[in-house]
Amino acid sequence: MGILDRLALVRGYLSSSRDFPMTSDDLLFGLLKQPCGAIAPRYVLDTRGAGEHLVVRLRGIETPLYWPRCLPLFDLHKVVTEACYERDWHFYEVPETAVRAGDSVLDCGAAEGLFSLRVLDRAGTVTAFEPLPLFARSMRRTFAESPTVTVRQEALGAAPGRGRLRGDSLYGQLDDGGDDGHGVEVAISSIDRWAADSGRRVDYIKADVESREIDVLRGAVHAIAEYRPRVAITVYHPGNVWTDMLGLLRSVAPGYRYRVKGLSYGGSRSRPVMLHAWHP
CATH of the domain at 239: 3.40.50.150
Q: Which of 110, 41, 52 is nearest to 78 (CA)?
A: 41
Helices (H) and strands (E) in the chain, counts: 10, 16
Is the Cβ–Cβ distance between 275 and 35 less than 8 Å?
no
Q: Which of 238, 247, 222, 243 is nearest to 158 (CA)?
A: 222
Question: What pLDDT sits at residue 117?
Answer: 98
What is the rounded distance in angstroms from the CA atom of residue 170 to the CA atom of residue 147? 26
Domain hosting 184: range is: 3-278
Question: What pLDDT sits at residue 90?
Answer: 97
Q: Which of 155, 51, 160, 179 is nearest to 106 (CA)?
A: 155
Burial class (CB in 10 A: 0-12, 13-18, 19+), 74: exposed
pLDDT in tens, the chain (280 residues): 678 888 999 999 999 999 999 999 999 999 999 999 999 999 999 999 878 999 999 999 999 999 999 999 999 999 999 999 999 999 999 999 999 999 999 999 999 999 999 999 999 999 999 999 999 999 999 999 999 999 999 999 999 999 888 766 667 677 765 555 567 889 999 999 999 999 999 999 999 998 999 999 999 999 999 999 999 999 999 999 999 999 999 999 999 999 999 999 988 899 999 999 999 9
Q: Which residue intervals of the chain are DSSP H helices?
A: 3-14, 24-32, 36-39, 73-84, 114-119, 133-142, 191-198, 213-218, 221-227, 242-252
Q: How many independent structural domains does the chain possess?
A: 1
Furthest CA-CA distance within the chain: 51
Question: What pLDDT sits at residue 175?
Answer: 72
CA distances from 227 to 25, 191, 195 (A): 36, 12, 11
Q: Which of 121, 139, 92 is nearest to 259 (CA)?
A: 92
Question: What pLDDT sits at residue 178?
Answer: 57
Chain center to CA of 232: 8
3-class SS at 274?
strand
Global pTM?
Answer: 0.94
Question: What pLDDT sits at residue 193?
Answer: 98
What is the rounded distance in angstroms from the CA atom of residue 62 to the CA atom of residue 117? 9
Question: What pLDDT sits at residue 25?
Answer: 96
What is the rounded distance in angstroms from the CA atom of residue 237 to the CA atom of residue 149? 28
DSSP 99: -
Please enumerate in sequence order all residues whose Cβ is within 8 A of that of 107, keeping only pairs 6 or more positions apart, or say none: 113, 115, 116, 126, 127, 128, 129, 206
Question: What pLDDT sits at residue 3?
Answer: 80
Kindly give the pairing relationship between strand 104-108 and strand 274-278: unpaired
Question: What pLDDT sits at residue 168?
Answer: 65
What is the rounded distance in angstroms from the CA atom of residue 241 to the CA atom of residue 235? 7
